[in-house]
A and B are shown apart, each in its own frame.
Chain A
Amino acid sequence: MTPHIQSIIHPAGIEAARISHLWWVMFGICAFVWFAVAAATLIAIRRGRHAASAATDRQASFAVASAGVVSVIALVALLTQSVVTGRALDSIRTPDALRIQVTGNQWWWDVQYENPTPSLRVTTANEIHLPIGRPVAIDLLSNDVIHSFWIPSLQGKIDLIPGRLNEIWLQADKPGVYRGQCAEYCGAQHAKMAMVVVAEPPDDFERWLAANRASAPVPVTPEQERGKQVVERGPCAMCHTITGTLAGGHSAPDLTHIASRSSLAAGSLPNSPGYLAGWITDPQHIKPGNHMPPTGLNADELQAVLTYLETLK
């Protein structure tokens, strides 16, 4: 990962850029105020030590009132900048936005690309792909506790509250890989509830979308077939879904295209066979308290499962 992929002041989209601009304006004014007050304090201390001021209390009160007026003006300037930014942020709304639905769970993100045609919908987890230059509207739900959806490079955060539907609008303008993270304390593994955000040119995005619409490929080798059997008959199928197989659980991330994702365990681990093996064997070691139990697979079963999962691109 490169640094600043989760930074408010390194925006990669128009909404975050507007907020970043607001930040710099506010920072500038506030820094000036701080220096002015600090200077006034130091000067006052110097004068006070030498009893050097002949100002009357009336003059002092006038000075205070003047400073008060200046403060009000500065505050109004800050308020105005904030209101202007707020209005600009709202202007992104448009009827032909890409619509995604994200559902928060302890401690992973369910991601669904909406479409009026059911067969064109895409379900994935912990990873979001976005076409650059197109407004995106994300509906936000929660299955359990309050979470918060936050991709700093692209937009401010908004909470996922059980029983409520919230909506966030954003747009990616710079291609790249960014990181989002849950920003409302949601229990034991709040720290490891992240997501990978890939902003790519529209063609690449459509290709990705199309690839993800497909069901899981049929196993070719016997080892792959064996792995599929373990997944379907073992504990995995109770929670996970792999479309095209008997695994149809809904309380854990969809694994249909797990091999094409760049991270595991909601952004906690790189997606490579070694890490995947460690995760499947003992998820409690990596994310203590998360809802995935140790799977109890022996070495052969584990190897078979890994081989099968590798095919799920």
Chain B
Amino acid sequence: MTAHREAHPRLTENDPRLDADALERERRLLERTWAGGRGVIAWLSEVDHKAIGRRFIVTAFAFFALAGVLAALMRIQLARPENHFLSPDAYNQIFTMHGTTMMFLFAVPVVLAMGIYLVPLMIGARAMAFPRMLAYGYWMFLFGGIFLYVMFALNIGPDNGWFSYPPLAGPAYSYGKRGDVWAQLITFTEVSGLVVATCLVCTIFKLRTPGMSLNRMPLFVWAMLITSFMVIFAMPSIVISSTCLILDRLVATQFFNQAEGGDPLLWQHLFWFFGHPEVYIIFLPALGMMSEIISTAARRKVVGYMEMILSMTATAFIGFGVWVHHMFATGLPQFGVSFFTASSIMIVIPTAIQIFNWIATIWTARRLQITVPFLYAASFFFVFIVGGLTGVMLASVPLDRQVHDTYFVVAHFHYVLIGGSTFPLLGAIYFWFPKITGRMMGDRLGRISFWLLFAGFNLTFFPMHLLGLDGMPRRVYTYPGAMGWQGLNLLASAGALVIFVSLLVYLVNVAVSLRAGAVAGDNPWGAATLEWATSSPPPPYNFTPQPTVASREPLWHSELRPPAIVGLRPDDREVLVTYLLDAEPDHRYSMPGPSLWPFLAAIATSVMFVWSIFQAQGVVWGSIPVFITLVGWFWPTKGKARLERGVTGRLTARESVS
């Protein structure tokens, strides 16, 4: 199949369209074209990836705060043996809500959100592909989270853990709507995640600015690309399993009922086939953030660009081949299970390579700057690695059969998730805060909150290794006083208090900086990537003129003077679509503007989802408003069509594809 590249873009020297006056005129036109508007309807119709990215981040952190409060309640209950602060039922709902919120409403959305905000800027594009679908993804995330918490407040929150194993979670042992609420929350968040991942893949593949061939993409963009593919391949598995669970509970299917030929282990396979890649979905974007922060602090490109990409890719692939390590205690045949020991140990290798490359980058830095973001990145080497090493221990079947489902595992996954994703994330927020808001976060408060978090985190979670080794299982609302576990539990609860204070300081830093932080220029950190080539915060259209690149670190190689793009219409939301491999210019594409349809479609979808867990016919009747909103969404408006005709002349068949 050959694509005819008939119309070539032209290079012109000393082009008058790049004069200061011409650019200023264009800026004014672009401001009008890309402006979001004011008022409630405009706010609900927002399609700018930066606005949506900000909303996603704020909403995800709001859920983080809620899940943190739940964790605090758990730690208060467990601070003393045989405590009566929480009833068993309250505790069981709370630990379920904590895990479900953290995994589905914080950890994944927040890393995808960083991608939503940063990726178009990093690749030199004016917008994210499919902006209305992106908005829909946000609303589905928000509505799903609201749904879950409203149900929790009504005392029908889920209570079977974040992985909801049948038969406990099935119709025979979990009465009422609690289990259905959990399963449908999954549907909301999976729709949101899949939609965002699709936007990211299309954006990264097709909207990169000319010159940014695949091997010139920033490592963070690679991380988001690989993560998006993981989302696309992994999430369908939990879509199926949660659907089967709802069907078992509501219409008496027998998927997980062994008495009628079903199998509880089918759930576990389907769930963990998603569940393990899920944690790599949470982890990989943080690896991208690490690369950007470290390279900027070290003032040099990361050592081993190719190795980093291959490592992230290998991690993603192998991540799909380890899921049975969550099932080592189920009695599966030894032969099959030992394959998963091997793969679970092997997956360490690419991450180790990345760690060594970062250390090498720091080692050969050109005057390393120990900024606050760098502190968060550096803590990875001390915190995540503990979790990575306990992960190797868990890969061993004999050892796992002792520590599985104990506080040792709780310690492990908090070390890898918080050390591997949350610490880098907090550093990344600090790092990109000036770009997003135009102001710097406070340095002193930044350092205080970092060290408090480092101390508090270790104080909370390190003792849990010892508790697990001493026999304390997971998911217990209390424990006997005679076991001797109360000392370590009290220590962990004290650490939780320190974490709480540290996050409060961080929040204060954000709030104060928003108002009174030092004004940031375009590139306060002296970083290399394209998002720092525009103002802080960027204009709605991201760049003018749209830059092209001639190297991997464009802002460190400005002497190469790659050309700037001219010829995109300022009176229409035009973006430049390029070819996949080499990012050569292909065609201009008119992006849709603000639209209320994504919001309305999300409302209709939410109504259908919630209705259908109460009545089966909700699926049928509820889909009618969804259909109506989708038709409204996709039906083109006349205004655009006129524009199109004006630009291209008569309808002709100029391009052909076999």
Q: Footprint of B on A, CB under 8 Å? A: 1, 3-4, 6-9, 16, 18-19, 22-23, 26-27, 30, 33-34, 37-38, 40-41, 43-45, 47-51, 53, 55, 57, 60-61, 63-64, 67-68, 71-72, 75, 78-79, 81-83, 85-86, 89, 106, 144-146, 148, 150, 152, 155-159, 161-164, 166-167, 179, 181-192, 268, 288-289
Contact = CB atoms under 8 A, between A and B. Distances in A.
Given A82-B399, A156-B398, A289 B89 contact: yes
B264 to A, nearest CB: 6
Given A26-B399, A189-B88, A190-B475, 4 more contacts: A47-B363, A57-B303, A82-B399, A161-B264
A49 B374 CA distance: 12
B197 to A, nearest CB: 30
Interface string B582-609: 0000000000000000000000000000
B222 to A, nearest CB: 18
Contact of B263 (A1, A163, A166, A190): A163
* Interface size grouping (class) on chain B: 35 or more
Given A40-B359, A86-B398, A159-B330, A185 B474 contact: yes
B161 interface: yes
Contacts of B473: 150, 181-183
A191 B401 CA distance: 19
A156 B337 CA distance: 15
B401 A157 contact: yes
Nearest to A194: B480
Given A34-B385, A49-B368, A188-B89, A75 B348 contact: yes
Nearest to B355: A37
12 contacts: A3-B482, A7-B471, A48-B368, A51-B367, A53-B363, A64-B357, A75-B346, A78-B396, A156-B400, A164-B331, A184-B405, A191-B475
B89 to A, nearest CB: 6
A82 B482 contact: no
B37 to A, nearest CB: 47
Given A72-B349, A163-B259, A183-B473, A26 B364 contact: no
Contacts of A67: 352, 356
Nearest to A16: B402
B636 to A, nearest CB: 52
B397 interface: yes
A1 B362 contact: no
A33 B469 contact: no
B469 A85 contact: no
Contacts of B366: 51
A179 B396 contact: no
B579 interface: no
A146 B168 CA distance: 7
A68 B349 CA distance: 7
B401 A158 contact: yes
A186 B396 CA distance: 25
Given A26-B399, A57-B303, A64-B304, A190 B469 contact: no
Given A75-B349, A78-B345, A41 B482 contact: no
A45 B378 contact: yes
B378 A41 contact: yes
Given A8-B403, A63-B360, A183-B473, A144 B396 contact: no
Interface stretch (B121-129, B314-322, B386-394): B386-394
Given A9-B469, A68-B353, A185-B161, A61 B304 contact: yes
Contacts of A50: 367
B398 A85 contact: yes
B534 interface: no
Nearest to A75: B345
A295 to B, nearest CB: 21
A6 B471 contact: yes
A116 B427 CA distance: 66
A48 B402 contact: no
Contact of A18 (B359, B398, B475): B398
B225 to A, nearest CB: 23
Contacts of A51: 365-368
A307 B401 CA distance: 43
B476 interface: yes
B502 interface: no
B226 to A, nearest CB: 20
Interface string B184-202: 0000000000000000000
Nearest to B351: A71
A1 B482 contact: yes
Interface centre among A18, A163, A188 (most CB of B within 10 A): A163
Given A37-B385, A68-B353, A157-B401, A45 B370 contact: yes
A33 B357 CA distance: 16
Contact of B88 (A9, A34, A288): A288
Nearest to B482: A1
Nearest to A163: B258
A163 B364 contact: no
B396 A82 contact: yes
B342 interface: yes
B485 to A, nearest CB: 9
B404 interface: yes
Contacts of B381: 37-38, 41
Contacts of A8: 402-403, 468-471
A155 B329 CA distance: 12
Contacts of B389: 30, 33-34
B520 interface: no
A89 B178 CA distance: 41
